Amino acid sequence: MSELTIRDVRAIMTSPTGTALSPGDGSLQKRLIVVKIETSEPGLYGLGCATFTQRANAVRVIIDEFLKPLLVGRDAHRIEDIWQLVHHNAYWRSGPAENNAMSGVDQALWDIKGKVAGLPVYQLLGGKCREAAAVYRHAGGATPQAVEDDLRRYMEAGYRYVRVQMGGYGGNASLPTPPAGAVAGDYFDPHGYALGAVEMFAHLRDKVGFGIELLHDVHERLVPIEGVRLAKELEPYRLFFLEDLLPPEHVEWFAMVRQVCTTPLAMGELFNNPQEWKMLITNRLIDFIRCHISTIGGLTPARKLAVFCEQFGVRTAWHGPGDVSPVGHAVNVHLDVASPNFGIQEWAGFSDLEQEIFPGCPELRDGYAYPNDKPGLGIDIDEKLAARFPCPDGVLGWTQTRYPDGTLFSP
């Protein structure tokens, strides 16, 4: 197949699960965006994840109104060249909306490449280093005992890695009274949270021991010095990693964390530009990189980042929450099984409806996610069924995070 050109590029949007449209509503909103690239070969197309739940319509406009006219008629085989073209064409580079749109195109082209070759994408990346990717799940509760109960449920199901949280991100189980007239928002208590996190880990290690790998997500809800203190206080409990301790604006503080403790650190959920991770990796200030693959621009930059991390002893732990499309999860798993420095994969799981909309989802068995062996990414989409679940309009609530006195803070 010497000539294979791009015939159409379009965004498909769907929301097959619950929504969070008001401040204080902690449920998850999924505005999933998948790019479909059709080619000059009849019936040959590719899918890629472009999901940016918080700005879904902005991504859709970039795909349909800017990338489609840029890409139609171009050689679908030239993945790297097209990635560079899209990256530079807007003149100002990076940013989550632009990168997610670019990711949808990039991943779809890898899907097409695998289908043309008759090989799963992991084979194009050099083949398997492992048969499947170990995953971690999320256990939570309002009290240490409630977290323990939820943790044991996962342990009994055979999971060896579990992220544990008490009272939600940043702690909201027992909030101080805000001042009169305080505006609505997703309130949290950083002081109570930090104390409660240490209490939770002391309880869990006393009750379940050290045979289970435990993780924890700060979600950047502490000022830097309090983050340093928490990492130090959690050291005796031997975390698999402490996640997103600080926001990207304060990454220099990771050097201080390294000076005071050996708690393993994972970082990168909010990164969208190489300048945000290069210093952390080259100075060995983190142990795991956990970028959201679509937000850094797709599989092409993610595989380069994985190789870069390998040179400095940093392992991968790609972001894998519920608001990544099943196509995006498939990309994560293909890269996981082909990367020698794979560490762990976040896993939210798929509903029955999501698996019906996206046939070919990676399969979860005994704590491992398996890619299938179909050509490309091995996943498809039922567009008619997806269209029955349109993305809702509205303002996202959980990212309107506030201190007890009403001050806005990092989500």
Catalytic pick among 138, 219, 292, 334:
219
Structural domains in the chain, sorted by start = 6-120+395-402 (3.30.390.10), 124-376 (3.20.20.120)
Backbone angles phi, psi at 358, to 5 degrees: -120, 75
The reported pLDDT for the residue numbered 168 is 83
Joined together, the tokens standing for residue 84 give 């560079």
Stretch among 61-70, 312-321, 395-404 having the lowest mean pLDDT: 395-404
Catalytic pick among 169, 187, 237, 403:
169
Joined together, the tokens standing for residue 34 give 């998948």
CA distances from 49 to 18, 213, 286 (A): 19, 30, 27
Q: Judge whether 37 and 4 are in contact, CB under 8 Å.
A: no
CA dist 295 and 104 (Å) reads 10
Of 138, 126, 114, 124, nearest to 345 (Cα)?
138
The reported pLDDT for the residue numbered 396 is 80
Helix/strand/coil percentages in the chain, nearest 5 = 40, 15, 45
The answer to whether residue 287 scores a pLDDT higher than 60 is yes
Report the mean per-residue pLDDT for the chain.
Answer: 93
Active site residue 161: no
Active site residue 87: no
Joined together, the tokens standing for residue 218 give 């700060």
The answer to whether residue 26 scores a pLDDT higher than 50 is no
Model pLDDT for residues 152-202, shown as the tens digit of each residue: 999 999 999 999 999 888 776 667 788 888 898 888 889 999 999 999 999
Q: Percent of the chain scored above 70 by pLDDT?
A: 96
Model pLDDT for residues 251-276, shown as the tens digit of each residue: 999 999 999 999 999 999 999 999 99
Model pLDDT for residues 48-71, shown as the tens digit of each residue: 999 999 999 999 999 999 999 999
The reported pLDDT for the residue numbered 22 is 37
User: What end-to-end distance do the CA atoms of the chain give, in Å?
Assistant: 48
The reported pLDDT for the residue numbered 395 is 82
pTM of the model: 0.94
